[in-house]
Amino acid sequence: MKSKNYTLTTMPYSLTIGWLYPELMSTYGDRGNIIVLEKRCEWRGISAQVVNLDKGFNVKLFNDVDILFMGGAQDLQQKIVSDDFSKEKTKAFKKVMDWGLPGLYICGAYQFLGKYYKEANGNVIPGLGILDLRTEHPGEESERLIGNIVVEVDLVGLTPTTYEVEERKIEEKHIIVGFENHGGKTYLGENLKPFGQVMKGFGNNGKDKTEGAVYKNSIGTYLHGPILPKNPEIADWLIEKALERKYKKKIKLKKLDDFLSQKAKKVVLQKMSSY
Ligand code: GLN
């Protein structure tokens, strides 16, 4: 039976946002993503609460959250987090991801979902092995992948947007912008879908033009920025997925006035219009 679409009315919807390692994994201002998720719920009358899942958190919390978020960090913090993640936590985390829990994992967090992260000195930090990917830092002398980045994504359910950049109309693509800063280069397994195709910048490894990865309703990406203030449609995608999973029905969020963020995106695109 075709599921009915519901527009969000004044029903008392609520969502719990789980923030993994806020003290350790938010080196590049990624906490801005939490603020966007909270605000874009609040502006629609959805009550949103944030629960911190910090070092030593109770594994049961995985069942109490509706969206998960984890930011980026330096190699040192990634090692501490890797040591903190027990086998039981990994199993529980994989289960909720398999059950479609929406999540956003930035840079070091994204790397952590894979098999391992090999540091510049050759030391290997074990990953969770949930996503079929591996990350290797090629060595201290290698270029750090830093700079503004433009990516074309094709998330199902994300409406394509038309952008005009210097009179060239770019249609039917969904363009997102952000800032990347990583030494590690990530390589996806053949069955793992990239989050998008790099139009300008480095992405996963500066070679295969892929950026990030998508697994069910989880997004891994190198885009700091933070990503959500610059691309609020991704926040709405996560919120709608969370509402659908929690209330077992499709709920279309009412549109917000995103004039400022879209204007900021256009400025970045114009600045990088050589792509
Ligand atoms: N330490 C990792 C790297 O340099 C991740 C950095 C980050 O999270 N921005 O690749």
Between the CA of 73 and the centroid of ligand 1 the distance, in Å, is 6
Classify residue 73: in a domain, yes or no. yes
pLDDT of residue 162: 57
Whether omega before 226 lies within 30 degrees of 0, making that bond cis, reads yes
Separation CA 127–CA 257 (nearest Å) = 39
Report the C-alpha gap between 173 and 159 in whole angstroms: 9
Atom index in ligand 1 nearest the CA of residue 222 equals: 9
- Cβ atoms within 10 Å of 167's Cβ, excluding its own: 5
174 catalytic, yes or no? no
Report the candidate in 2, 30, 1 with the shortest Cα–Cα distance to residue 222. 30
- Which atom of ligand 1 approaches the CA of 25 most closely? 8
Taking alpha carbons only, the member of 227, 244, 273, 235 closest to residue 212 is 227
Residue 28 lies in a domain: yes
Choice between 214 and 275, residue whose per-residue pLDDT is larger: 214
SS3 171: strand
Model's pTM, two decimal places?
A: 0.92
Establish if 58 belongs to a structural domain: yes
Q: Which two tokens stand for residue 118?
A: 């090999």
Tell whether the model's pLDDT for residue 248 goes beyond 90. yes
Q: What is the pLDDT of residues 4-50, one digit of tens each?
A: 555 554 568 999 999 999 999 988 888 999 999 999 999 999 999 99
Tell me the CATH number at 133. 3.40.50.880
Residue nearest to atom 5 of ligand 1 (CA): 108
- Please indicate whether residue 224 is annotated as part of the active site: yes
Please determine, for residue 207, whether its predicted confidence score (pLDDT) is greater than 80. Answer: yes
1, part of any domain: no
Q: Is residue 4 part of a domain?
A: no
105-121 as b/e: b if 16+ CB within 10 A: bbbbbbbbbbbbbbbee
Residue given tokens 């695109």 in the structure block:
269
Probe target for ligand 1 pocket from 33, 105, 106, 107, with the most ligand atoms within 8 Å of CB: 107
Torsion, Cα 243 131 73 96, to 10 degrees, reads: 30
Whether residue 229 contacts residue 176, with contact meaning beta carbons closer than 8 Å, is answered with: no
Establish if 236 belongs to a structural domain: yes
* 3 confidence band (pLDDT: 50, 70, 90): very low
Please provide residue 243's backbone torsions phi and psi, each rounded to the nearest 5 degrees: -65, -45
Q: Please give the pLDDT value at position 1.
A: 45
Q: How many domains does the chain have?
A: 1
Which amino acid is present at 250? K
Both structure tokens of 221: 């990406």
User: How confident is the model over 254-275, as pLDDT tens digits?
Assistant: 999 999 988 888 888 888 875 4
Which atom, in ligand 1's list, is nearest to the CA of 78?
1
Q: Using a 6 Å CB cutoff, which residues line ligand 1?
A: 28, 72-75, 78, 107-108, 111, 181-184
3-class DSSP state for residue 175? strand
- Among 41, 107, 137, 182, the one annotated catalytic: 107
Provide the pLDDT for residue 165: 57
How confident is the model over 153-169, as a mean pLDDT? 66
Domain that holds residue 109: 14-271
In-domain check, residue 7: no
Whether residue 6 is contained in a domain is answered as: no
Q: Which of 25, 33, 75 to mutate to test the pocket of ligand 1 (most atoms within 8 A of CB)?
A: 75
